[in-house]
Amino acid sequence: MQWNIPISKHLQHGELNLEDKALVDRAIADLPNAYAPYSNFRVSAAIRLDNGSILSGCNQENSSFPVGICAERVVLSAVHASHPGSKVLSMAIVCNDGREGPLEPTAPCGMCRQALSDQVSRQSTGMRLILSTINGPTWVLDEASDLLPFRFDFKQ
Ligand code: THU
């Protein structure tokens, strides 16, 4: 199937710029913080804030499945808990399904796309997305909110 996706760059790990590479490396380093005993699909999201801080969050599943939360929304909540008012300049998302062989990056789910888009509206600054894996290519999107065109916006 052909997707009309706003990927601006397909890169190998060694081709990333230093800032993006540092964010991907932090997300990979923190993958063990994922709690994914039900899906075995680990996701880690690391963000760079406008104050220079880097935070990360991983998916946290729950025995009552719908209670689980994706890595992207874990780390966005951490921003508002410990760095309120800060802007999220970029987010690296990495995944690992525990199997051998190269894996494609994962794109944020629909609920996370809404959360990312709302964050972009709140902060009035765009957010770069770097989608990667432990052993595969990296896709760079210049603007996270491009993933959710014609989105719901309570202010409209
Ligand atoms: N997951 C994320 O953490 N982020 C996404 O954008 C998609 C899915 C998690 C949720 C669940 O724990 C596992 O991946 C499998 O769906």
**Which residue, by CA, sits nearest to atom 10 of ligand 1?**
70
Q: Name which CATH class applies to 7-147.
A: alpha beta
Q: What is the mean pLDDT of residues 50-71?
A: 98
> What is the distance in A from the centroid of ligand 1 to the CA of 29?
18
Output the pLDDT for position 154. Answer: 84
Is pLDDT above 60 for 1?
A: no
CA distance 118 to 99: 34
Tens of pLDDT along 66-105? Answer: 999 999 999 999 999 999 999 999 999 999 998 887 788 9
> What is the distance in A from the centroid of ligand 1 to the CA of 86?
25
Output the pLDDT for position 78. Answer: 97
Point out the ligand 1 atom lying closest to the alpha carbon of residue 107. Answer: 6
**Is 72 among the residues known to form the active site?**
yes
Annotated domain spans of the chain: 7-147
Beta carbons of 58 and 30 less than 8 angstroms apart: yes
